[in-house]
Amino acid sequence: MFNVELFDDYINEQLDELKDIVENNKFTDEKCINFISNQDLEDELSHNEIYMVQKEFIRLAKEYLRENHNGKFIIFCDWCVHICTVKFYENHLSKCLKVYLKC
C-alpha cells in the first residue's frame, strides 16, 4: 500500500512555494500557477499514487488559503494542481471548468 507520508517533504516544499507566491503577491489574474505535475513524479510513482500526493497537497493548500486568504483562489486538478485567482477563473475558465474548490 502506498504511503503518501513518504512525500511529506516534497509536498511541504510545494506548499512553501505556494505560500511564498501568495505572500509576495506573485499571483496575477492572467494565469494559473501549477504544482505537482504528473510529469514530475511519473518516473517514481503510478498515476494513482501521484493523485494521492496531489490530493494531500490540495488538502493542505486549501486549508492554508481558507485560513489566510479566504475566497480569493480556486484550486483544480488534472495533469497537475492548478491554483488561480477567482478573477482569472471567472474571466477565463468558468465557462469550461465547473469542478473546482474555491478557497
Distances from the Cα of 42 to the Cα of 4, 49, 53, 79, 83, angstroms: 15, 9, 12, 11, 21
- pTM as predicted: 0.90
Q: What is the dihedral of CA 44, 50, 54, 55, to 10 degrees?
A: -140
Q: Please, what's the b/e burial string for 41-75 (b: 16 or more CB within 10 A of its CB; e: otherwise)?
A: beeebeeebbebbbebbbebbbebbeeeeeeebbb
d(Cα 70, Cα 44) in Å, to the nearest integer? Answer: 34
In which residue ranges of the chain is pLDDT below 70? 98-103
Whole-number pLDDT of residue 103: 67
Whole-number pLDDT of residue 88: 93
Whole-number pLDDT of residue 81: 97
